[in-house]
Structure 1
């Protein structure tokens, strides 16, 4: 058996509550006020406009101060306010205070004087071994010969100690020592001629040690 239900029920609803606003009663409720529109309305207030203008002035002053801090008139990377050496030339390397850094100059290599080239090469007693003190003269001579392509004659000599035959051989060995040095430094061997004179043609007195030292030599002849 089908059960029937009543179809003419009636329903109704009722609400009750309280509402209050916090803050000043002079401010309208935001429920029905456009805040952006209200802000523009408030700008019509003279005092508020002055306050906004003063705020803009302070912001402008801050911006100007920042721009002044960044200002670099000479472009050296140091702001004018901290630049102790203004108007440095473009490209100058400066320190943190804006002053040019003076770098120590590199020591320049002393060029071998041309007067050193072709000077006599001296030897120890009864020796054909080159002295290290002779290297600068030999280097200068080598540089000149390589640059000019000139030919040179090496004349070997000895002091008067020992036999004439021994001194002749010794003087030749001395000239060949100089030739070997020059060839090893790049001089063409074909442009070097060697002659030996032994104890002949001294340039100083062989009776003194000072004179004999000067006679133990190789001379250059161009």
Structure 2
């Protein structure tokens, strides 16, 4: 079976502030946990490769399953310390790509042509593009061979404006997911804030918030197993 490629951020701060951000731990760890339980191998990539910072606020939202992944040497080594660079990835090895969240991704996911090319190749090979929460930022600027946004006309979801307000970050984020998605021609759907919600539209699988990770993972597993 082919592997799943997990994309993580290298951004350590909300840009223009002193406040730390980074990967939302559970959005990687819970996904890895679901893949491991189903015998699906994963690799980790980030825009620059190497070190992936953790959003310190995400450490308040852990459980035993998240901590077990976080404490595993494999996750420490491959998922946090030594992530691969995009140029080290052969997209033909993967059945799917999964974009994690954490606010940091809003700065280094949208405009990375290497990641976009990897994702599009996986998709064109019949694979899946998936994301959760702010990870939707990785989908926004992927275009097909005709120059059209891949998400145009698709039903997708991600971290909502209401959730951004509740998180206290609406004033510091560079964009609002809902607005960008609709500007790209996507149909942005949502449920009540901080409720589990994941949707599938063709080979695009997206989840609304950090409470939707396992739902996204299970949608993907139903497709690739």
Q: TM-score, normalising length from structure 2? A: 0.23
Structure with larger Rg: 1
Structure with the higher fraction of residues in strand conformation: 2
Bigger relative contact order (CA 8 A; separation at least 6): 2
Q: TM-score, normalising length from structure 1? A: 0.23
